[in-house]
Structure 1
Amino acid sequence: MKSTDQTKHHSEDAVLNETGLRKGLTSYGDQGFSLFLRKAFIKGAGYTDTALDRPVIGIANTGSSYNPCHGNAPQLIEAVKRGVLLAGGLPMDFPTISIHESFAAPTSMYLRNLMSMDTEEMIRAQPMDAVVLIGGCDKTVPAQLMGAASAGIPAIQLITGSMLTGSHRGERVGACTDCRRYWGKFRAGEIDAQETANVNNQLVASVGTCSVMGTASTMACIAEALGMTVPGGASPPAVTSDRIRIAEATGARAVQMARDRLTIDKILTPAAFENAMRVLLSIGGSTNGIVHLAAIAGRVGLEIDMQALDRMGRGTPVLLDLKPSGQHYMEDFHKAGGMAALFRELKPLLRLDALTVTGRTLGQEIESAGPGFAQDVIRPIDNPIYPQGGIAVLSGNLAPGCAIIKQSAADPKLMEHEGRAVVFENAEDLVNRIDLDDLDVTPEDVLVLKNIGPKGAPGMPEAGYIPIPLKLARAGVKDMVRISDGRMSGTAFGTIVLHVTPESAVGGPLAQVRNGDRIRLSVRNREISLLVSDEELVQRARANVLIEPTAERGYRKLFLQTVTQADKGVDFDFLRAPQITGKTPRS
């Protein structure tokens, strides 16, 4: 007879060897009947036994009328299915939550973890040998990678692609850096309501994600840097034939990954995250990329070392000339060679041994891409558009955990600055007072917004892009130092300190800042300091009784009870995997 341990291992091996429709059988107490019933129902859709014997490839469908960034999802799904069928697999698309930045209240970040749980559980619940993740808008790609990382099966990312640019009065425009620029002009009285309405028709010229290096484009580039897309998967615009061909190739690749059992944990390694960090820094990527990478890493037992990231940034220049750090748009990046061209320039700084979904290493993929060609979008490493990485990590008594600033999109004159704090207690206070004529504020002041962190808002909204007070905007002020425990869109620009950790809602020092306090920002020294004594801060904390946000029921209650701080990815603590020794990137 077999021992209990032998029986257990035999049972585990049997589960691991299950494929196709035999995976994850519904529990009726009789596995034979479970499979019989499953096949009976699926045959109601017209499938034959021959079709049902193939590797099953799930396709996560995030199409939604509320999500124009995913407006090409039907075409992508058909192309993925074609690729799966040509490679001998059986494609099965299924719906998951779809979230769009502009259509999700209070913020799409609040729902990212819910989408990740939906993605994970649907992958686990339904029989599939591999899964294609179709995502684009800001939080969908990280949510899918988080969920897939937890589910553990072979997975491959398909990006929906960026929108095309439009034209307003002869000027090329695209969402959403130009959205903010034109709205700033309107607030300053430089353009009227009619011109604002006219440009509104041109800023988004097609379906697809933002055409600049916002969070969506950043996550597209990061996904390819992680090795999670087919080569060239990051840059083709949504409505191009290149994007459709990438979708077909993705479907075919998913079938081979299923056959090879190339599971996601073999891709999402420390080397992959180091490459993703290099790319994030070199593209002038969204500050949100740090939060999302921390969350994805947490799902595979890794932790992002923020100080090591900053050291990496000092030696990784910004090479991509894209808004908001530069001048071009995503379609220009694609025409210039996309990620292959960027990888060539970054090659000395990359971990070339990192495995990708192709089954080959990043180094092998760079070699197979061949030589580049003359273009002016991706700079050579010895002629960058910014000498350091786009993001700097700050610390000091105002941010004992850390804070960040997108230095490549900031005003150089303000990156060494000391000023008087003008404080807003929360988002409502900001809305009520920012445009008052009697607001006591000057261009040299520092705007401080509290309680928009992970718990304070909740969901850490993109309210960190604090508008310039109306009376200063009308006087021609374009930038000021701004500080918050929230986020800002990757499409935004300005001298803005974000992700102050710990956040004010959990008792971080930001909660103790008062009007008139002096604050010092030194990007050179990586410092953000409140010029108030430690003794005074302790006294203020004692007098200011902390009442953390709570909720009575539902997802909000779960969120507030379990969400982590920004440096841990704003994920739920119970979804993080046990930590593997060490951190990434390497010091």
Structure 2
Amino acid sequence: MAFKAAKWPRKLRSQEWFGGNSRDNIYHRGWMRNQGFPPDLFDGRPVIAILNTWSELTPCNAHLRDLAERVKHGIYEAGGFPLEVPAFSASESAFRPTAMMFRNLAAMAVEEQMRGQPIDGCVLLVGCDKTTPSLLMAAASTDLPSIVVTGGPMLNGYFAGERVGSGTHLWKFSEAVKAGDMTQEEFSEAEASMSRSAGSCNTMGTASTMASMAEALGMALSGNAAIPAVDSRRRAMAQVTGRRIVQMVKDDLKPSDILTREAFENAIRTNAAIGGSTNAVIHLLAIAGRVGLDLSLEDWDRLGRDVPTFVNLMPSGEYLMEEFFYAGGLPVVLKRLGEAGLLNKDALTVSGETAWEQVKDVKHWNDDVILPPERALAQSGGVAVLKGNLAPSGAVLKPSAATPELMVHRGRAVVFEDIDDYKAKINDPDLDIDETCVMVLKNCGPKGYPGMSEVGNMGLPPKVLKKGITDMVRISDARMSGTAYGTVVLHTSPEAAAGGPLAIVRDGDIIELDVPARRLHLDLSDEEIARRLAEWKNPIEPPASGYARMFHDHVQGADTGADFDFLKGCRGAPIPKDSH
């Protein structure tokens, strides 16, 4: 059904606070005017919150203050009233135990900001990994007109004549040091080249993936995802986005109009095409849950399985986000999917146009960055969803980042009970491990870590690296950085700390991985698995109090998005009762 814009003018939600001459209206307006706002700004024009995840402790977002000013320009130009509102900012590079633990907290905080304040529409100003999904989750929960503008990726890094991808080369260089192929001094010298400008990771890591997901879902203007942070066109995008949100409020164009099943199908296929992060699985499942859509791991496998990965970016490929932008960016990807019959062309976007109307005439400028179909990095991209007696509720693997020879593998388990156990053992030359083994890491899921940290791409033991081996099969209930690579099975569900079969794997057990058959099997009888589970005692003690206790008690499994059990479905943004 085509979207039908609301009639304008009409009474806006913010007028319950600012419209009229009652004592309460004067109370709300009067305090706002101490900032020097002229009285006509309160006359019924749309009040737009710029929900800004700027923070100097979130380096990816540290330049967002400037972009917020550009958004304000656009809002004023379109006849709106912009108000910048600080939003909870969970930094991937600084938060401990992991930023993922605070995604749900950020989503809760922003949702209540949107619900409890005089806001008619929102610009979601985001960048770092968790800031994009948390604000999208909040917008889906309140259903106020909302639009995303991201901070954009960093410029390319270079070291010793080599293109350096933030994150991806961190793992690569770290392994090279352990293997004796790079000195610590060289590693330290390379540090400066990994982050040479403002912006988020310049690889197709989680930040760039989620920027692409926002655009593919229709929640950001076309072309938003790939513009580098320091490119003047990023500032222009922010200003145009400010203009657009005012019209969205006038039209009453809401997230529920855009975040349809068709939109999520477009995003899943887009993730396959770009070689996107496995973290997108958890985040899109959570966003869909806030809308009330029944999106599943099976949808991820079914929709992405036959989509080739044709964007040649690290960690799966060769180039970085800067080249992706110059090649045409995500609009070219969406056009390619549309031409292949893999895009729901009629899906509505925040522009008011359909997904296809936005991209059908875009130009493609570089066949080495956005590859032709016959040269795709992987003909079957996407996210492989594995099941079996080791992962009854599912686990995921990124085929485009894996070693083809390891996609079918049988090996002896080498078990690490938690991340501290891994750190204590991995560098020990007497560790009984070789390249045929399967590394197993437990108790790093949503409840176990807590928060489900990005430790699933366990570094290999030095004794194996020194043989020239760069990949082994690794299995855990953890996540992996979107900048990382390898034959890594992640999000194993149920997690070990919830009593999943992963909890009872022992050193020497045989594990079979068969990605084409989507199978993850522990070579034990059902009776032996049942016996071990009956004897298992949970080593994870629930936190005593605070947010950590709330997280532990209410977080759901990775297979459903790791959201809180009480936050499913859209709750809307009613007019709160006045407190005066």
> Normalised by the size of structure 2, how large is the TM-score?
0.94
User: Would you say 1:380 and 2:342 are equivalent positions?
Assistant: no
Secondary structure of 2:35's counterpart equals: coil
Aligned mates of 2:250, 2:546 — CA distance in 1: 40
Aligned residues of 2:17 and 2:24 also touching (Cα < 8 A): no
Secondary structure of 2:193's counterpart equals: coil
Aligned residues of 2:142 and 2:570 also touching (Cα < 8 A): no
Cross-structure match for 1:19: 12
Pick which of 514-523 and 47-56 moved more.
47-56
Aligned mates of 2:432, 2:236 — CA distance in 1: 56
Aligned residues of 1:403 and 1:498 also touching (Cα < 8 A): yes
Aligned residues of 1:345 and 1:381 also touching (Cα < 8 A): no
Aligned residues of 1:400 and 1:502 also touching (Cα < 8 A): yes
Cross-structure match for 1:353: 346
Counterpart of 2:488 (choices 496, 511, 530) is 496
Cross-structure match for 1:582: none
Secondary structure of 1:454's counterpart equals: coil
Aligned mates of 2:267, 2:456 — CA distance in 1: 24
Aligned mates of 1:389, 1:100 — CA distance in 2: 29
Cross-structure match for 1:308: 299
Cross-structure match for 1:461: 453
Cross-structure match for 2:6: none
Aligned AA (1:480): M
Aligned residues of 1:396 and 1:528 also touching (Cα < 8 A): yes
CA RMSD of aligned residues (A): 1.8
Counterpart of 1:264 (choices 239, 247, 255) is 255
Counterpart of 2:193 (choices 199, 202, 205) is 202
Counterpart of 1:506 (choices 493, 498, 503) is 498
CA deviation map 1:31-90 (0-9, x unaligned): 922211111111111111212222111101111111110122111001100111111111
Aligned residues of 1:506 and 1:548 also touching (Cα < 8 A): no
Structure 1 residues 39-438: aligned runs within 5 Å: 39-53=29-43, 54-347=45-338, 348-367=341-360, 369-438=361-430
Aligned residues of 1:519 and 1:528 also touching (Cα < 8 A): yes
Cross-structure match for 2:574: none
CA deviation map 1:240-259 (0-9, x unaligned): 10100100011000110011
Aligned mates of 1:310, 1:52 — CA distance in 2: 49
Deviation at 1:510, TM superposition (A): 0.4
Deviation at 1:545, TM superposition (A): 2.6
Deviation at 1:547, TM superposition (A): 5.6
Aligned AA (1:564): Q
Cross-structure match for 2:4: none
User: Cα gap change, 1:374/1:444 in structure 2, threshold over 3 Å: closer, same or farther?
Assistant: closer
Aligned AA (2:89): S
Aligned residues of 1:422 and 1:441 also touching (Cα < 8 A): yes
User: Cα gap change, 1:405/1:374 in structure 2, threshold over 3 Å: closer, same or farther?
Assistant: closer
Aligned AA (2:518): R
Aligned mates of 2:555, 2:94 — CA distance in 1: 22
User: Cα gap change, 1:548/1:439 in structure 2, threshold over 3 Å: closer, same or farther?
Assistant: closer
Secondary structure of 2:373's counterpart equals: coil
Cross-structure match for 1:573: 565
Aligned residues of 2:140 and 2:570 also touching (Cα < 8 A): no
Secondary structure of 2:292's counterpart equals: coil
Cross-structure match for 2:475: 483
Deviation at 1:450, TM superposition (A): 0.3
Counterpart of 2:532 (choices 531, 540, 547) is 540
CA deviation map 1:307-358 (0-9, x unaligned): 2321222211111010111101001110001111111110020101111001
Secondary structure of 1:220's counterpart equals: helix
Deviation at 1:184, TM superposition (A): 1.1
Aligned mates of 2:76, 2:536 — CA distance in 1: 63
Aligned AA (1:344): K
Aligned AA (1:115): A
Aligned mates of 2:247, 2:425 — CA distance in 1: 58
Aligned AA (2:401): A
Unaligned runs of 5+ in 1: 1-15, 580-587
CA deviation map 1:471-518 (0-9, x unaligned): 222332211100000100011001100010000101100011000000
Aligned mates of 1:354, 1:506 — CA distance in 2: 38
CA deviation map 1:432-486 (0-9, x unaligned): 1111111111110000000000001110000101110122223322111000001
Cross-structure match for 1:527: 519
Aligned residues of 1:564 and 1:572 also touching (Cα < 8 A): yes
Aligned AA (1:43): R
Secondary structure of 2:474's counterpart equals: strand
Secondary structure of 1:85's counterpart equals: helix
Secondary structure of 1:245's counterpart equals: helix
User: Cα gap change, 1:38/1:308 in structure 2, threshold over 3 Å: closer, same or farther?
Assistant: closer
Aligned residues of 2:155 and 2:196 also touching (Cα < 8 A): yes
Aligned mates of 1:385, 1:396 — CA distance in 2: 28
Aligned residues of 2:442 and 2:496 also touching (Cα < 8 A): yes
Aligned residues of 1:24 and 1:125 also touching (Cα < 8 A): no
Pick which of 392-401 and 466-475 moved more.
466-475
Secondary structure of 1:249's counterpart equals: helix
Cross-structure match for 2:5: none
Q: Percentage identity across aligned positions? A: 45
Secondary structure of 1:400's counterpart equals: strand
Aligned mates of 1:370, 1:459 — CA distance in 2: 41
CA deviation map 1:10-32 (0-9, x unaligned): xxxxxx96426424689xxx992
Aligned residues of 1:423 and 1:514 also touching (Cα < 8 A): yes
CA deviation map 1:259-297 (0-9, x unaligned): 111111111111110100010111110000000000000
Deviation at 1:380, TM superposition (A): 2.8
Aligned mates of 2:404, 2:271 — CA distance in 1: 21
Aligned residues of 1:167 and 1:173 also touching (Cα < 8 A): yes
Unaligned runs of 5+ in 2: 1-8, 572-580
Aligned AA (1:447): M
Aligned residues of 1:157 and 1:228 also touching (Cα < 8 A): yes
Deviation at 1:231, TM superposition (A): 1.1
> Normalised by the size of structure 1, how large is the TM-score?
0.93
Aligned AA (1:39): R
Aligned mates of 2:182, 2:535 — CA distance in 1: 47
User: Would you say 1:440 and 2:432 are equivalent positions?
Assistant: yes
Aligned residues of 2:18 and 2:29 also touching (Cα < 8 A): no
